[in-house]
A and B are shown apart, each in its own frame.
Chain A
Amino acid sequence: MDEKVKEEASKDNYRQEPKVGVYVCHCGGNISDIIDVKAVAAALAKYPGVTVAREYAFMCSSNGQDLITEDIKTLGVNRTVVAACSPSLHELTFRGVLQRAGVNPYLHEHVNIREQASWVHKLDKAGATAKAIKLAQAGVEKVLRKDALNAIRVAAEQRVAVIGGGAAGMKAALAAAGKGLEAVILEKTPRLGGKLPELGKMYPSGEEGAAVAKKLEDLVLAEKKITVHTGAEIDFVSGFVGNFKINFKKPDGSSAQVKAGAIVMATGYEHYKPYKGEFGYGEDGTVLTLPAFTALMKKLPAGRLEYGGREIKSLTLIHCVGSRQVEGVHKPQADGKINDYCSRVCCTAALHAANQLKEKYPGVRVYDVYRDIRAYGMKHEEYYDKASKDGVLFMRHNELDQPVVVSDRTGHTVKVKDVLTWGEELEFKTDLLVLVTGMTPADISLIKSQLKLPSGADRFLQEVHPKLRPVELANSGIFVAGAAQYPMDSTEVMASAGTAAAKAAILLAEPDIPLEPFVAVVDEHKCTGCGLCPPECSYDGALMMGEHNGKKVAVVNPALCKGCGACVAVCPTRAINVAGWTLEQFDAMVDAIAKE
């Protein structure tokens, strides 16, 4: 199918007499259990401008979509209102239906009667139904006043900028280059590899982190399509999908710029740093984090475990330090929030470390204090088994009964209310305390604020939807790879980075990217050339006064306009509007809603 041809064919739809088709989705009970969908369809069928109103079990299904196509063909429907779930899920689905049927895809209005009606008005079925009718009627008013729009095509840089040179960044660059795209890695530290070289022996392959880093780095350096900038300090990121500009300082102090069509955020994670005094951390030298302990274990000779000048005869692992925190039990983080998420990889990492420890130092007594063991991966249970067989003593506590550590010169006394021994308070001495710390996102506040990137309550970068658009950020053209999104293990990082590169490759599959056409448009007949609007615009060059047919008018540069509408509000003659979001539409929607 030639989409460009269809686009041309659909350009003139708006000149036809408007015929609105209204489609009310049951969402298989999600909507229809609360909202009387038949009543909504019946009310809309009588509404002025509506040619047909239907209700159906799943509008998003192939059958549902076919209903619309059929009405376009046989009834001449040329504008649609679908009252269903949130537009974030299916607005694009229905625009696609219109497009395939030769109708301009922007002559569609999506009305949300699930997330914002049936799901929130469960106890008021009549109210929810009345609201759904009003919202659908407002939708009809809006779509009646819509113009056919056509995507603005923007020439795109055929290059992917990858921010971060750890496992995720290297894989994303390799995958993009494998597809024939140029990739540029910007890494702030002097070397590639990210956290890999510190990781010691990795599960389940048993490879050293440093060896994995070397393997990926060799592949990156051998790939001609990848450029690597280490020691790159990013100071300004700007632009938009297809045309991002990343300004950075090189180690020699000189400035450089990378232009890219897409950005992959592979900015990684930091190990959770316990606060001073958290289980004695920072106050006592024999309280270490797991990453520090694995690094240490790598260096020490086998046989006798010595640390800080004395022999370590017993060691205690405490899980969930900095993860699965509980309001009122744990001290909040700097931003006032607790880390209520699970860091996913630490249970297995701790078990794997215990296995290695027992291999190297069979005589050391190991205690493992946990809430749940989350050894979810294919071979992870084997580490758990091996640890049990090796004599690691497991103790399990409830979230409200946190273990207590008292330290003095003779070592640490650990108290655990252990559910495995039916809630008995166990108390034991240990020489070394290893805190199984979780993961937190790396500090990327500069890039985040410049590009306005979204993050969740957990502070990790937030995808649009975990199943529909799992590696896309809300900002068009920006993707996330690896632990910048959430804690994950090395194979999961490979998957995430590969997919981020796939989405970039899809975006850049053609030399120009179609952009949504929601930019400011000036009605030259109404514009009086008063000059009030340009000072309202925050984007250089997007809105200026110019001349057209000998008349002074406001002129918009659609490639630079962001469509915020700041100019719209100040126009005394309402001559300027954001395409697809006009004041006339909103006035008509308010009228429909306010009407008794």
Chain B
Amino acid sequence: MKTLEKIEVDALVVGSGIAGLQSALDLADQGYTVAIVEKNPSIGGKMISLSKVFPTLDCASCITTPRMASVSHHPRIQALTYSTVDGIKREGKTFTASVTRKPRYIDEKECISCKRCEEVCPVYLPDEYEQGMGAKKTISIPFTNAIPQYPVMHPEHCIRCGACARACPKDCLEFLQEPAPVEIKAKAVILATGYETTPMTAKKQYGMGALPNVISPMAAERLLAPHGPYGRVLRPSDGMVPGSIAYVQCAGSRDKSIGIPYCSRVCCMYAIKQAILLSGSLPIADITIYYMDIRAFGKGYEQFYNNARAMGINFVKAKVARITEDDKHNPIVRIEKQEGTSAPEEVKHELVVLSQGLVPACDGTKFNLGVGNNDFGFVQLSDETSSSAVTAGTGVFAAGTVKGPRDIPDSVVDAGAAAMEAAAYIRRL
């Protein structure tokens, strides 16, 4: 067992997506010390894997990487990546978090991020960063702009050939590395654990994830990313360039049958954005968005929607009852139109994106700090008309999508307010 590493800071931020990063920076820039704990091997959350972001169409990486760099260079922020928060205890005015650093099986102090281990490793795995569309090595740096740039080894897939150890110029492979415990003492906690998308299997009428050319929006983001798995937009089943692409809106939101009656707020806009990007990379493709209501409610969003319509993207008011496929894996979408005709129609497309909704990634109540959830598992505010971040747990604040779906601009603003509430709380102690 390794010796216990102890860290003492003003604030603990759980999660390092855009909300976690921003609240950490807004606290540290005011002079407070911050520890961030992130379960993934890199900071950056979901945003770093997106292609471009609405409504400005900036590349997501260009907006996220400078913040990731600021966090990693900040003299008052420590980021613990590939680490889990196992529990948080309140003792008087102090929180004590038990954290486990998961083994990467390399010596982080020695690693020079040269990727030679990755080059020689003979075992390929589906790359979850590329939504399973690409492959990665069993020992690999998680993605191009990951921070930190350390490889992670997955022992369950390792064939123990030793090639990586022989290739490493610094002799830093540690096959016997064990999880390392860390204790973090902090005066305040910010929960910024973010969201997951509703699973592909959520709605059985939509193919249960078994139709190869019915994909998730996160997969579409990777297809559209300039540094994505194929470097261009191809459909998964046969690598064909799709000529007809459809978006199914509210596939995982506003749907009581799957237990998610709320609107996920971002899906209209990300679908419109992806449609705009698709029409840029596939100028001759037909792009259709099947929707109930277009919810372009943010600053500049309505104009963004209008631009998409002017570009020829086809918006059809229709409910999608069912998706099947033909023998060439072309998705067949059965729609009930709201305008024009009442008879259900079946429309063949070559690629379909399910505009999945957002669900909580982590249960904020599990640390038993007095935090309450709403009916859908998101963290509940204690008084929403006086604060956007104060929870029922004293000293525990919430930032970003842990409180419910919201887009990036809203999350960034929200995170600053969470930092401010935490700062005021720490000052009052």
Q: Give yes or no for direct A-B contact (beta carbon below 8 Å).
A: yes
Shortest CB distance A220–B (Å): 11
Interface centre among B59, B72, B75 (most CB of A within 10 A): B59
Shortest CB distance B1–A (Å): 33
Interface string of B29-60 (1 = CB under 8 A from A): 11100000000000000000000010110110
**A455 CA to B340 CA, complexed, in Å:** 41
Interface string of B386-429 (1 = CB under 8 A from A): 11110000000000000010001110111111111101100110
Given A58-B61, A423-B340, is A180 in contact with B427 using a C-beta cutoff of 8 Å?
Answer: yes
**A224 CA to B201 CA, complexed, in Å:** 56
Contact A423 B339 (CB under 8 A): yes
Given A342-B296, A491-B385, is A58 in contact with B420 using a C-beta cutoff of 8 Å?
Answer: no
Contact of A29 among B226, B386, B413 (CB under 8 A): B226
Contact B420 A505 (CB under 8 A): yes
Which B residue's beta carbon lies closest to that of A325?
Answer: B302
Does A256 count as interface, using CB distance less than 8 angstroms? no
Does A60 count as interface, using CB distance less than 8 angstroms? yes
Contact B298 A471 (CB under 8 A): no
Does B259 count as interface, using CB distance less than 8 angstroms? no
Which B residue's beta carbon lies closest to that of A379?
Answer: B262
**A412 CA to B237 CA, complexed, in Å:** 57
In residues 335-393 of chain B, which contact A (Cβ within 8 Å)?
338-342, 374, 376, 378, 381, 383-389
Given A28-B226, A180-B427, is A494 in contact with B31 using a C-beta cutoff of 8 Å?
Answer: no
**A464 CA to B58 CA, complexed, in Å:** 14
Contact B263 A375 (CB under 8 A): yes
In residues 317-340 of chain B, which contact A (Cβ within 8 Å)?
317, 338-340
Shortest CB distance A209–B (Å): 9
Does B200 count as interface, using CB distance less than 8 angstroms? no
Contact B263 A381 (CB under 8 A): yes
Does B303 count as interface, using CB distance less than 8 angstroms? yes
Contact A62 B340 (CB under 8 A): no
Contact A419 B414 (CB under 8 A): no
**A61 CA to B146 CA, complexed, in Å:** 9
Q: Which residues of B contact A490 (CB under 8 A)?
A: 384-385
Q: Which residues of B contact A27 (CB under 8 A)?
A: 59, 62, 226
Does B149 count as interface, using CB distance less than 8 angstroms? yes
Q: Which residues of B contact A29 (CB under 8 A)?
A: 226-227
Q: Which residues of B contact A465 (CB under 8 A)?
A: 56
Contact A89 B58 (CB under 8 A): yes
Which A residue's beta carbon lies closest to that of B305?
Answer: A342
Shortest CB distance A175–B (Å): 5
**A96 CA to B385 CA, complexed, in Å:** 39
Does A123 count as interface, using CB distance less than 8 angstroms? no
Interface string of B238-281 (1 = CB under 8 A from A): 00000000000000001000000111010000000000000000
Contact A378 B404 (CB under 8 A): yes
Contact A466 B61 (CB under 8 A): no
Q: Which residues of B contact A212 (CB under 8 A)?
A: 385-386
In residues 192-247 of chain A, which contact B (Cβ within 8 Å)?
202, 204-205, 207, 212, 215-216, 219
Given A344-B297, A506-B26, is A494 in contact with B417 using a C-beta cutoff of 8 Å?
Answer: yes
Does A65 count as interface, using CB distance less than 8 angstroms? yes
Contact A466 B409 (CB under 8 A): yes
Contact B225 A28 (CB under 8 A): yes
Q: Which residues of A contact B261 (CB under 8 A)?
A: 381-382, 385
Q: Which residues of B contact A249 (CB under 8 A)?
A: none
Interface string of A439-483 (1 = CB under 8 A from B): 000000000000000001010100001111011000000000000
Does B3 count as interface, using CB distance less than 8 angstroms? no
Interface string of A365-407 (1 = CB under 8 A from B): 0000000111111111110010000000000100000000000
Shortest CB distance A3–B (Å): 9
Contact of B386 among A62, A89, A219 (CB under 8 A): A219
Contact B69 A486 (CB under 8 A): no
Contact A341 B340 (CB under 8 A): no
Q: Which residues of B contact A341 (CB under 8 A)?
A: 299-300, 302-303
Contact A340 B302 (CB under 8 A): yes
Q: Which residues of B contact A219 (CB under 8 A)?
A: 386
Q: Which residues of A contact B384 (CB under 8 A)?
A: 204-205, 490-491, 494
Q: Residues of B within 8 Å of A, CB-based: how many?
A: 80
**A324 CA to B376 CA, complexed, in Å:** 32
Contact of A378 among B30, B66, B254, B378 (CB under 8 A): B378
Does A90 count as interface, using CB distance less than 8 angstroms? yes
Contact B386 A215 (CB under 8 A): yes
Contact of B389 among A381, A458, A471, A495 (CB under 8 A): A495
Shortest CB distance B92–A (Å): 21
Which B residue's beta carbon lies closest to that of A398?
Answer: B339
Contact A178 B388 (CB under 8 A): no
Does B306 count as interface, using CB distance less than 8 angstroms? yes
Does B191 count as interface, using CB distance less than 8 angstroms? no
Does B98 count as interface, using CB distance less than 8 angstroms? no
**A524 CA to B415 CA, complexed, in Å:** 50
**A396 CA to B261 CA, complexed, in Å:** 21
Interface string of A124-161 (1 = CB under 8 A from B): 00000000000000000000000000000000000000
**A510 CA to B300 CA, complexed, in Å:** 35
Contact of A100 among B62, B73, B294, B418 (CB under 8 A): B73
Q: Which residues of B contact A167 (CB under 8 A)?
A: 385
Contact A496 B408 (CB under 8 A): no
**A465 CA to B55 CA, complexed, in Å:** 11
Interface centre among B58, B340, B408, B427 (most CB of A within 10 A): B58
Q: Which residues of A contact B156 (CB under 8 A)?
A: none
Q: Which residues of A contact B65 (CB under 8 A)?
A: 58, 60-62
Does A1 count as interface, using CB distance less than 8 angstroms? yes
Contact of A372 among B62, B293, B412, B416 (CB under 8 A): B293
Q: Which residues of A contact B227 (CB under 8 A)?
A: 28-29, 57
Shortest CB distance A145–B (Å): 28
Q: Which residues of B contact A372 (CB under 8 A)?
A: 293-295
In residues 401-437 of chain A, which contact B (Cβ within 8 Å)?
419-420, 422-423
Given A467-B63, A467-B408, is A342 in contact with B301 using a C-beta cutoff of 8 Å?
Answer: yes
Given A60-B62, A178-B427, is A502 in contact with B294 using a C-beta cutoff of 8 Å?
Answer: no
Q: Which residues of B contact A456 (CB under 8 A)?
A: 299-300
In residues 300-317 of chain B, which contact A (Cβ within 8 Å)?
300-303, 306, 317
Contact B299 A460 (CB under 8 A): yes
Contact A468 B63 (CB under 8 A): yes
Contact A175 B385 (CB under 8 A): no
Q: Which residues of B contact A85 (CB under 8 A)?
A: 62
Shortest CB distance A545–B (Å): 42
Contact of B412 among A58, A89, A342, A470 (CB under 8 A): A470
Q: Which residues of B contact A342 (CB under 8 A)?
A: 296-297, 301-302
Does A543 count as interface, using CB distance less than 8 angstroms? no
Contact B66 A491 (CB under 8 A): no
**A345 CA to B378 CA, complexed, in Å:** 22
**A467 CA to B22 CA, complexed, in Å:** 10
Given A382-B261, A467-B408, A506-B26, is A62 in contact with B416 using a C-beta cutoff of 8 Å?
Answer: no
Given A344-B298, A374-B297, is A60 in contact with B69 using a C-beta cutoff of 8 Å?
Answer: yes
Which B residue's beta carbon lies closest to that of A496?
Answer: B413
Contact A499 B297 (CB under 8 A): no
Interface residues of B (CB under 8 A from A): 18, 26, 29-31, 53, 55-56, 58-59, 61-63, 65-66, 68-70, 72-73, 75, 144-145, 147, 149, 225-227, 254, 261-263, 265, 293-303, 306, 317, 338-342, 374, 376, 378, 381, 383-389, 404, 408-410, 412-421, 423-424, 427-428
- Assuming A33-B226, A470-B409, what are 7 further A-B pairs, CB within 8 angstroms? A57-B227, A180-B427, A376-B265, A467-B412, A490-B385, A494-B388, A498-B417
Some 28 contacts from A to B, beta carbons below 8 A apart, are: A27-B62, A60-B62, A61-B61, A175-B417, A175-B420, A179-B30, A376-B263, A376-B295, A377-B265, A378-B378, A381-B262, A385-B261, A423-B340, A465-B56, A466-B55, A467-B18, A467-B53, A467-B408, A468-B66, A471-B413, A485-B299, A486-B299, A491-B381, A494-B386, A494-B388, A495-B414, A495-B416, A499-B414
Q: Identify the 5 closest CB pairs spanning chains A and B, nearest first.
A: A498-B417, A178-B424, A499-B416, A29-B226, A28-B226
